[in-house]
Amino acid sequence: MNVAPGRVRGRVLVVDDEPTIAEVVCRYLERAGYDAASAGDGDAALAATDAAPFDLMVLDVMLPGIDGFEVLRRVRESPGPAPAVILLTARGEEADRIAGLTQGADDYVVKPFSPAELVARVDAVLRRAGPVEAPGPPMSFGPLTVDVAAHRVTLAGEEVALTQREFDLLAFLARHPGRAFSREELMEQVWRYSFYTDTATVTVHIRRLRTKLAAVPEAADLIETVWGVGYRLAAP
């Protein structure tokens, strides 16, 4: 594993069994001001994330031994803060993209790709543009309570386990109850992608949130679909 010295904009782990691809991606990331490390297979990737924290992982799906989906699953299930994940795949089928997004990937890039575009995707995933909104008091919607300051969501008094992106999405909708947002607006406001055109990840995350809220029947319909527009959280 090759690690660039010093931290500037963030630490990125590139996981690819093709050394040339990993080397080129790392070089572009370093030029953009990131610390870049590489791993050639799933076991090495998991060992790297256990040894030191990373802000983001560029993860090839097709790896020898443990494939990228399994690495993603283990990273998402491990305790403590998990890195954001951008999947690299040579397969452009929607089913593969949805599988990765459903398991918690933040973005995907289909091979062959432009290293410069990949760096732009890394920027977009890690970007937190503009001033941070004050957490404010806990927000309640029937049995659902969203406490941004405590980074805690409860449903009928029981804490709900959410991924970082699920929490961000729910918190954003909770801050604007009754207002409908398009998928493109949610991509820009929650994911911070102003150029992203594929909004499938929004649909996937909404579906996952609804599944978790449905554990309490009174909360099953809190996230409403506004046909022809997008989604909104029902006003209390």
Span 146-183, pLDDT tens digits = 999 898 999 999 999 998 889 999 999 999 999 999 99
CA distance 54 to 45: 11
What is the per-residue pLDDT across 104-120, written as a single tens digit (0 to 9) for each?
A: 788 888 888 889 889 98
Q: Tokens 């690299």 belong to which residue?
A: 88
How does pLDDT run across 55-80, given as a tens digit for each residue? 999 999 989 999 999 999 998 887 77
Beta strand ranges found along 47-184 (DSSP E): 56-60, 84-89, 107-110, 139-141, 144-147, 152-155, 158-159, 181-182
Which residue ranges form the domains of the chain, and what is each CATH number?
Answer: 11-126 (3.40.50.2300), 139-233 (1.10.10.10)
User: pTM here?
Assistant: 0.58
Which residues are 218's β-sheet partners?
Answer: none
